[in-house]
Amino acid sequence: MISSQDSNANSIHDDELEQIFGLSGALSASIRGYRPRQAQTEMAKAIAAAIVGQNTLLAEAGTGTGKTYAYLTPALLWGGKVIISTGTKNLQDQLFLHDIPTIKKVLKAPVSVALLKGRANYLCHFHLERTLQNGRLTSREDVGYLRDISRFMKTTSTGDKAELARVPETAPVWSLVTSTKDTCMGSECQYYQDCFVMKARKEAQQADVVVVNHHLFFADLALKDTGIAELLPSANTVIFDEAHQLPDTATLFFGDTISTSQILELSRDVLAEGLSHARDGAEWASLVAPVERAARDLRLTFGQDSIRMSLLQIAPSSPFFPALETLKDAMDDMIVVLEKQAVRAETLEQCRVRAIDLNGKLHDWRELDLSKKDNAGKPECVLWVEAYSTSLQLHKTPLSIAPIFNKQREGVPRTWIFTSATMAVKNDFSHYVSQMGLWDEPARTWPSPFNYQEQGLLYVPNGMPQPNSRDYTDAVVDAALPVIEAAGGRTFLLCTTIKAVKHCAERLREEFKQRDLPFPLFVQGDAGRTELLERFRAAGNGVLIGSQSFWEGVDVRGEALSLVIIDKLPFAPPDDPVLAARIEAMEKKGLNGFVHHQLPEAIINLKQGAGRLIRDETDKGVLMICDPRLISKPYGKRIWQSLPAFTRTREVAPVLEFFAGLEAAKTSVE
């Protein structure tokens, strides 16, 4: 309910926003190439109204609406203390380094801004010094990286590893020079006053606008379970950008995971610290050996392949269960010794706390009664295991995050804004709303300003086999080749599995060589995502093959990307234990698991992949979806109606004509 006072405030804000976003407004005057867009202005007004009324708003804005400026403008003017949470660290950096400074300058808004990342992003003085002294590095490359990091430590004011581009984000050495919640010494640390994590948190406490990412936001909620208390200061306004990622991120953090890798890492630390500080206190090697053996034996109770299965799918006679008990017993024995020796060094005390925590999780995991809610009234969970080549993970995952997230939103009234280009299915938000527990909250959609019918073509090739057939990926490559050639490269081939990525890469490498096609190939896994994208943009005629991480958050404007090929509709694998448990729970309530969960999930995912193609008003291109189910299945219509309104074709000839037309237009301009 909006009071008359709020209503007056809204109209004042509406007038101001009309001016700011208008033809002769502050944005037009200050930002090169800015053009007023009605949808952007309307979205900004809706967000301003939610801020004034301390309400919740779900705001879906099609690509090109300019949603970042639409939420930043009212947030910086009237949002009070604002937390902005993004889906990726890339977008987090883009907001902090570019978008917020731009809007702040345009509006002359006197707000202070802080960037806050998870502690693994900040150099740790203590762990760097220890690594320099111990010299536990195995590769020459890591030795060079450590030298770079050591120099960087002397000049950096933030300690943010993103500033040291020379050392790849994935380099193993980072784990030796950063801290985790378990290995941080806290106020006992000799470097506490200089700690980059503490400095970043202090700045965040004092800033008007704090930019975080979803992982950090939910890690904090899950670890504290009392709201965003110390780590993320209390705020008047919380804005989630890329909000479609929240259900998955929240599920990750509101669940619990314990892995044999964590136990092996703890064992190594117990041995090192025991020998350093309490050599006479125990036979340390004999103490940790049974724990390490039991952790490895637990992994070996499953075959060599990667496996995901629920606890209920593991046969009662499986060696997994006795191996789990053996590991618990070995951990118990190690904890008894640590209890006695922990007083001898702070680092041994840390090992004791970690051991108790891990052992507690091991006991909780097996003993959880799945048939009912636990004593704290927490929602039902699914217990499942995931086996990798060298480690085994035990997961406890909530079937729904809605009750947990709603608990976090109780208490102090504040504004909650959820925005993304993909939250709804044909303007229907019910799937997202039920996942997040945002029932009865207002939801609005603003369409993209792009003219999709003229700018793009949706091509679903005739004669494709069923996606579960053995030769399906080869058929995708065969259908794609003439189109890639017509497009002059400039292609994203998005696959639903890593296996398909590898197979497509092998085939295309062969075909390009045989046909003498000059298109450079960029394959996920050959380099980091950012580096692959930079190379792809620079090439101008490249073909990039990727899976999930390239379906969203990737922005390639202009001619470098003119064709997006999607191999299959992105349905989650049916053997996923969490999905199976969710579907079972839905069907107990009389809902259809496919219609109410799998289909909307696939549509939202597909909208993200399709959104890579047209990024501005001048972009043109073809979206090729190879999956015949888009046409043959009754649900196919619902899927393509949720995609941008491209002109549609089943034949390759109009596609080749489309690219020939683009080439002719380009030549005539030259």
pLDDT of residue 224: 53
DSSP state of 188: G
pLDDT of residue 665: 76
DSSP state of 390: S
Helix residue ranges, H only, 542-635 = 577-588, 593, 599-610, 629-632
389 burial level (CB within 10 Å; 0-12, 13-18, 19+):
exposed
Report phi then psi at 669, rounded to 5: -70, -40
pLDDT of residue 548: 82
Distance CA 585, CA 573 (A): 18
- Under 8 Å between Cβ of 573 and 540: no
DSSP state of 191: T
Q: Tell me the two tokens of residue 242.
A: 């890329």
120 burial level (CB within 10 Å; 0-12, 13-18, 19+):
middle
- Neighbouring residues of 236: CB distance < 8 A, sequence distance ≥ 6: 51, 54, 79, 80, 81, 82, 414, 415
Domains of the chain: 4-117+199-252+401-446 (3.40.50.300), 119-193 (no CATH), 255-398 (1.10.275), 452-669 (3.40.50.300)
pLDDT of residue 228: 42
Q: Please give the torsion angle defined by the CA atoms of residues 108, 112, 113 and 116, in that order, rounded to the nearest 10 degrees.
A: 180
Q: What is the mean pLDDT of each run of 10 residues along the chain (670 residues)?
A: 55 90 93 92 97 96 94 96 90 92 96 91 93 78 91 94 86 89 83 92 90 86 50 79 94 90 94 92 94 96 85 92 95 95 90 94 73 51 91 93 86 91 92 95 95 96 96 98 97 95 97 96 88 92 92 83 96 88 91 94 93 90 97 94 95 96 74
Q: Tell me the two tokens of residue 313.
A: 């799918």
Distance CA 82, CA 417 (A): 11
pLDDT of residue 341: 93
Per-residue DSSP letters for 333-386? HHHHHHHHHGGG-HHHHHHHHHHHHHHHHHHHHHH--TTS--TT-PPPEEEEEE
- Under 8 Å between Cβ of 75 and 109: no
DSSP state of 120: G
- Under 8 Å between Cβ of 257 and 394: yes
Chain Cα centroid distance, residue 304: 28
Distance CA 62, CA 645 (A): 12
Q: What is the 3-state secondary structure (H, E, C) of 220-275?
A: HHHHHCCCCCCCCCCCCEEEECCHHHHHHHHHHHHCEEEEHHHHHHHHHHHHHHHH
Chain Cα centroid distance, residue 424: 19
Distance CA 432, CA 439 (A): 10
pLDDT of residue 379: 53
Other beta carbons within 10 angstroms of residue 472's beta carbon come to 19
- Under 8 Å between Cβ of 212 and 116: yes
Q: For 306-340, b where at least 16 C-beta lie within 10 A, e where not — what string? A: eebebbeebeeeeebeebbebbeebbeebbebbee
577-620 confidence digits (pLDDT tens): 999 999 998 999 999 999 999 999 999 999 999 999 998 888 99
